[in-house]
Amino acid sequence: MLQQRHRLPMEDISNSMAWLARDDQSVIVGHGPFQEVREISRGQPAFYIRDFATPAGGAWKLPSATECLPLEEFRTRFPVTPFHCEWNAPDAGPFSTVFQEVMEAIRGGLFEKTVPVVVERGTAENPGPAIMAAMTRQVMPLRSYGWVDGGSGFAGATPELLLSLSGSRLETMALAGTAKQEDREVFAVDEKEIREHEYVAQTLVSKLQNLGHPVRQQRRILDVGTIVHFLTLIGIDLDREETPSKLVDLLHPTPALGPLPRTKETLGLLQQWRSRLGCPEQFGAPFGVWDGERFDAVVAIRGIWWNAHEVLLPAGCGIIEASRLVNEWRELRLKRDSVKRLLSKI
């Protein structure tokens, strides 16, 4: 059982902290300073924070103190703060160039799917408190997460669970395919979006087959406000004990954020495209917490990164052979706008 702590002053909370909300609307909070380690023990709470392409080694961060409390209580520590940001719309040119390179690689048989990322940049005065206040007020199906270190950090509210491990039971999901809420009926029968989703679902089932008998639920539509996604839940009772790090390496990145097939070469190319487009290294990476009895890891999307006055809002889009440049550019804006709405409704 994690230690319950008294409420801390806001200046202490913001200095060095990590948190992750879980599906029962509890939140695990870690307070710094943090120690980075390669291995963890069963009774030792730890956060799993890494870059998108960095192997698992060194990803664990041990907090100086940890607490578990209702998300409703946690959010009261962050007073509602208006978010004022001067946004600069991204230039379509660099993405267009990357899109053409991706399509050439797909036609050449290197990829079936990959996920480049576009970043919208902005400037804001002391953006951290407003971003944290907004993200901690989100509820299921969005899971609030964040990492703060002095004047920099990132926080978001993601709909995508990478994995949840409790005992021998593992739960994961395929979340891919995106449309506007008003296009829900057409989206339900859109062959391109269904195909993109199936790449993810089938890959996850395939990767889990050596660990037991994965059970896949029926594909459905998940409503996350102004947008909708295809969602397939997948569960498995593991035949043998596996460490959280090994399970993360097995599943991450799924084709929802990574390349298909996933090889050293295809991951390297995706990382080059992400770097050229200015993507934060932790965007789309696993972000998790181990509390000694349970491990939960989400995919760090639908978030905002900040450093002093600079603000970054990344979004990715899955490209397959049937993709079209104008449609993908619209989807990227749709995803960024959905995050901006989280900041405006507090």
DSSP characters over 73-126 = HHHTTS------EEEEPPPHHHHHHHHHHHHHHHHTTS-SBB--EEEEEEEESS
Note the pLDDT of residue 210.
Answer: 95
**Residues 324/35, Cβ–Cβ less than 8 Å:** no
Note the pLDDT of residue 60.
Answer: 94
Stated pTM of the model? 0.94
Note the pLDDT of residue 44.
Answer: 84
CA 298 from centroid of its chain's CA atoms: 6
**Residues 180/226, Cβ–Cβ less than 8 Å:** yes
Nearest to 226 by CA among 179, 181, 186: 181
Count other Cβ atoms within 10 Å, centred on residue 128. Answer: 24
Distances from the Cα of 300 to the Cα of 132, 190, 278, angstroms: 15, 26, 16
**Residues 19/28, Cβ–Cβ less than 8 Å:** yes
SS3 of residue 15 by DSSP: helix
**Residues 27/76, Cβ–Cβ less than 8 Å:** no
**Residues 176/200, Cβ–Cβ less than 8 Å:** yes
What's the sign of the alpha-carbon dihedral 117, 120, 126, 131? Answer: negative
184-206 pLDDT tens trace: 999 999 999 999 999 999 999 99
Low-confidence stretches of the chain (pLDDT beneath 50): 1-14
CA 163 from centroid of its chain's CA atoms: 12
Nearest to 223 by CA among 234, 214, 231: 231
Note the pLDDT of residue 7.
Answer: 44
Note the pLDDT of residue 312.
Answer: 98
141-158 pLDDT tens trace: 999 999 999 899 999 999
SS3 of residue 271 by DSSP: helix
